[in-house]
Amino acid sequence: MKNQIKTVLLLTSLSALFLLIGYSIGGRSGVMGALVMSVAMNFGAYWFSDKLVLAMHRAQPIGPGHASRVYEIVQELCQQAKLPMPKVYVVPESVPNAFATGRNPQNAAVAVTDGMLRILDEKELRGVLAHEISHIDNRDILVSTIVASIASAIMFLAHMMQWVGLTGGHRDSENRGGVNPLAMLFTIILAPLVATLVQTAISRTREFMADESGARLSEDPEGLASALMKISDPKLLSRSQGVAAPSDMQPAFAHLYIVNHFSGGFVLNWFSTHPPVKERVKRLLALKGNG
């Protein structure tokens, strides 16, 4: 519940920022123009996200009887969660990771990499798959698309304001007078930064939610915690046969994976789509203590 409230508050603040900037630049027409354009750009990504992501990862569909037991575990977890059975894929990549995609539970897919299957035992794999199924149940693809639409609209408005500044333009008849230089500076430089920070904060909140709901679904917080520690440990990965270093992961899809290996130090964590693994593990083990 706490993470749900945080998501709503962050999304509200992002929407307020968008409305404030849009109205200051072009009044109601400025707001609507930017919103329509950003929604149009993100709708295609939302509608075809599963096909695009799976194709770019060369994901191979699997069914019952696969040696990994991934299909059977997903089936069991979906029955517990009362969700439709998603399509299940194995990705021929040696970097250990997993992701869920699809616009809704009826059109969803869960994928794990070969590298993930090589280093996790069944208990840990069950925890990872429960996390990904929770993303589907929590409608996180839809939430991230809404957030991306508003954030990209703010970016569009910032570029619009930059163009106004370069051409010496003025606000329309709905907003008579020249553009305030301070407002222009904020919109061009700070607004996209604030939008990015809020967008990544929402993403981190959704990851915490998927951890918590996934741990409850699998009834084993320790399994997911152990998996997270394994797939984020460079020394362990370097000693594991047939497992690649995190640097080989595709950065463009880092926000989808269960662990973002491109996270950095304290300041860079503000821009990370995922919380620090240590914090996630700490919260998961706390759930075990409360259980």
Closest CA to 201 of 272, 256, 277: 272
Burial of 168-194, coded b for 16+ CB within 10 Å and e otherwise, reads eeebeeebeeebeeeebebbbeebbeb
Over residues 63-121, the pLDDT tens digits come to 999 989 999 999 999 999 999 999 999 999 998 999 999 888 999 999 999 999 999 99
pTM score, two decimals?
0.80
The reported pLDDT for the residue numbered 241 is: 78
DSSP 122-182: HHHHHHHHHHHHHHHHTTHHHHHHHHHHHHHHHHHHHHHHHHHHHHT----TTS-SPPPHH
Residue 201 neighbours by CB under 8 Å, 6+ apart: 10, 270
CB atoms within 10 A of CB 291: 10
The reported pLDDT for the residue numbered 83 is: 96
Q: Where are the domains of the chain?
A: 2-290
Which strands, in side-by-side order, build the sheet including 108-113?
60-61, 87-91, 108-113, 98-102
DSSP category for residue 188: I
Per the CB < 8 A criterion, the answer to whether 259 and 228 are in contact is: yes
Catalytic residues: 132
3-state secondary structure of 101: strand
Over residues 172-213, the pLDDT tens digits come to 444 444 556 666 666 677 778 888 888 888 899 999 999 999
Judged against a pLDDT cut of 90, whether residue 141 lies above it is answered with no
Helix axes 191-218, 140-167, angle to 10 degrees: 180
